[in-house]
Structure 1
């Protein structure tokens, strides 16, 4: 279709306009015998009785899409009327209108109706043709018109089925992505509930005992207030990890990684997989603790996808510090499992790795995008994390504090 744009423009025209143009073309083609008086064996002049059937066999084509079977019958009757009016005249037009009508019935009706229509035409053809050779030629052309119409109908139905399947698969992917996001949010909600229930319970008990301990045992009161502060700090740190959608292995209790461990991560991947380059530009600034953890996990997830799915030889991790945000770009030169003429659709680590990248960035008030790299062959993950906490965050822990709390 791209090689013949004029065909697309013609098909974009209104169907009625196309059918009117087709009827005019058929009428002109069927009128050719009237232009060659010398080929007519009879001395009788052309009359209205000759012209009207030719006209009547072309005009119904305007309604061929809506009434295909009726149009076929009308064109057959018009051709028969022409022959009955002048049975001895061998100079007859080629009934293109009937061919178009047979094609339309085959293309727009069921195969049973198409066969019935072709049988009607062949059965009524003795009224139209004047000799056996002409009858045989007509039968061959009518069957060919039917076959072409059926082929077009089958092709159209197949294309529609493929399009419907593609739409259904795309919708299923969207639904699965939504379900994955919902499952992740539900998991975070449960974790947040557990964190808050544990920490707040400790804080309430210690706070209620604090006033009594101040009078009876100052040292115990001091320990109670320390416990309140410790529980609050731990709850805040864990809440930030939940909001960052940090997906740790079951039972892991290691301190959360931060930006200073990205070079180590890049080195580990480079030793066992593609060559990975790390580029840092701009002046590093303070980043919220949850954003630091999210940045590390985003780089980790992206490099994991590259190693598992990209078939890449080189990759680049670029950290660009701006005045108000940290921009992370991870690119590779992989070919992926898809053909070269089709953009690679990345596989998801754990089933929803790219969804997790977007959710991590969103939880920190940032944005994430991913897809084929428009500037090169490969895949790009681009994330922007703000330097200030998302709106509504009142407490900001530094990376050192976060590491201390989780030890």
Structure 2
């Protein structure tokens, strides 16, 4: 039985490369020839036998589309042919139908078709008394046909499951790639916007300093050089994620880099203070980087757009959250990339656009995305009495 099953499986694999209709046509022809030849061998080849063989075999052409119905039709015709002695020991069309319903029918239809096959099989064996001795071999043949159909169904289900798993994996990979692209875009924006703003402001002040205060001019050019070098370093680190061969990468800036960032902004002439309340603690690197980038983007917008004289950065440590506030005393006019917040947000550093909590400029979009990833909340808008602009982020620590 095992060798017969293996041989049938090899034939099935070879047939997979052929069109289904062509395979079914060959099966119909083989079953028809078998029925006619068996009648001829038994010397019972009447004029109606080819017609009966046709009625018994041709429905197999639709077995894939209507497996249950075709099984019923062939079961009736096979039983009748067997009772009148027109079939040999093995009914080929019924064996094919058994394989088909085992492979394609749902559970309920499989049970009904199996019961009908057992009834028809019993009638075709027991009524012609000379065929009772064939009960064992015929039963084995039907069992093999059903087992092959079950194996085909299991293989098809397994393939479908693997295809679904591959589809989901592809979707997850695409989503991960999109998130990584967004992260890199945020990093690039934050680095370039901050560094270039510092460089532009210092460069604009440079000619005046050269004429009035050469020592200050030297400091201005040193600041430009340092800002440019730091920007290049951060850009190399950010782009390094695209190079798998790069062995080491510098960590992203975190809370310990805030004093240097504030000092860098002070060189532009803006009086910035950094305050902390509560007991500071260690936070995950990604959360620390989020805080740094929010402060960086907020101060960059203040320098570029707010025309402020003072600004402040406050970190308030609570038992379950970190509250970050960045504000200034500017007029809030202007706008980052011509977008940002009218309405609730006023004409803040984010620009003229939707509103404090609505869609903002690229920088505010990046802030919102960073805070959302960290599981926190971000609000921004005018300060008290409409003076200045504030960005407030609440970041969970648990």
TM-aligned CA deviation for residue 160 of structure 1: 1.9
Q: 2:96 aligns with which of 100, 103, 110?
A: 100
TM-aligned CA deviation for residue 8 of structure 1: 6.3
5 Å-filtered alignment, 1:48-127, equals 48-83=47-82, 86=84, 89=85, 92=88, 94-127=90-123
Provide the rounded CA distance (Å) in 1 between the counterparts of 2:12 and 2:118: 33
Provide the rounded CA distance (Å) in 2 between the counterparts of 1:298 and 1:108: 47
User: In structure 2, what is the equivalent of residue 240 of structure 1?
Assistant: 232
Contact 1:26 1:58 (8 Å CA) reproduced = yes
User: In structure 2, what is the equivalent of residue 30 of structure 1?
Assistant: 35
Contact 1:106 1:150 (8 Å CA) reproduced = yes
Contact 2:203 2:220 (8 Å CA) reproduced = yes
Provide the rounded CA distance (Å) in 2 between the counterparts of 1:243 and 1:189: 10
TM-aligned CA deviation for residue 51 of structure 1: 3.0
Contact 1:203 1:231 (8 Å CA) reproduced = no
User: In structure 2, what is the equivalent of residue 328 of structure 1?
Assistant: none
User: In structure 1, what is the equivalent of residue 22 of structure 2?
Assistant: 17
TM-aligned CA deviation for residue 195 of structure 1: 1.8
Provide the rounded CA distance (Å) in 2 between the counterparts of 1:182 and 1:141: 61
Provide the rounded CA distance (Å) in 1 between the counterparts of 2:147 and 2:11: 26
**In structure 2, the residue corresponding to 1:81 is in which secondary structure?**
helix
Contact 2:28 2:58 (8 Å CA) reproduced = yes
Provide the rounded CA distance (Å) in 1 between the counterparts of 2:33 and 2:81: 16
TM-aligned CA deviation for residue 76 of structure 1: 1.6
User: In structure 2, what is the equivalent of residue 142 of structure 1?
Assistant: 142
TM-aligned CA deviation for residue 18 of structure 1: 1.3
> Using a 3 Å threshold, how does the CA distance of structure 1 residues 29 and 6 change in structure 2: closer, same or farther?
closer
Provide the rounded CA distance (Å) in 2 between the counterparts of 1:90 and 1:246: 80
Q: How many residue pairs were aligned?
A: 238
User: In structure 1, what is the equivalent of residue 190 of structure 2?
Assistant: 190
- Scaled by the length of structure 2, what TM-score is found? 0.51
1:11-51: CA deviation from partner (whole Å, max 9, x where unpaired): 232211111112112222333323425xx5xxxx5212333
> Using a 3 Å threshold, how does the CA distance of structure 1 residues 94 and 6 change in structure 2: closer, same or farther?
closer
Greater shift after overlay, 140-149 or 57-66? 140-149
Provide the rounded CA distance (Å) in 2 between the counterparts of 1:9 and 1:90: 31
> Using a 3 Å threshold, how does the CA distance of structure 1 residues 234 and 64 change in structure 2: closer, same or farther?
same
Contact 1:106 1:146 (8 Å CA) reproduced = yes
List gaps (5 residues or longer) in structure 2. Answer: 1-8, 250-284, 286-398
Contact 2:199 2:228 (8 Å CA) reproduced = no
TM-aligned CA deviation for residue 300 of structure 1: 4.7
Contact 1:102 1:145 (8 Å CA) reproduced = yes
> Using a 3 Å threshold, how does the CA distance of structure 1 residues 35 and 71 change in structure 2: closer, same or farther?
same
Provide the rounded CA distance (Å) in 2 between the counterparts of 1:226 and 1:16: 86
User: In structure 1, what is the equivalent of residue 162 of structure 2?
Assistant: 162
1:235-282: CA deviation from partner (whole Å, max 9, x where unpaired): 3333333433358xxxxxxxxxxxxxxxxxxxxxxxxxxxxxxxxxxx
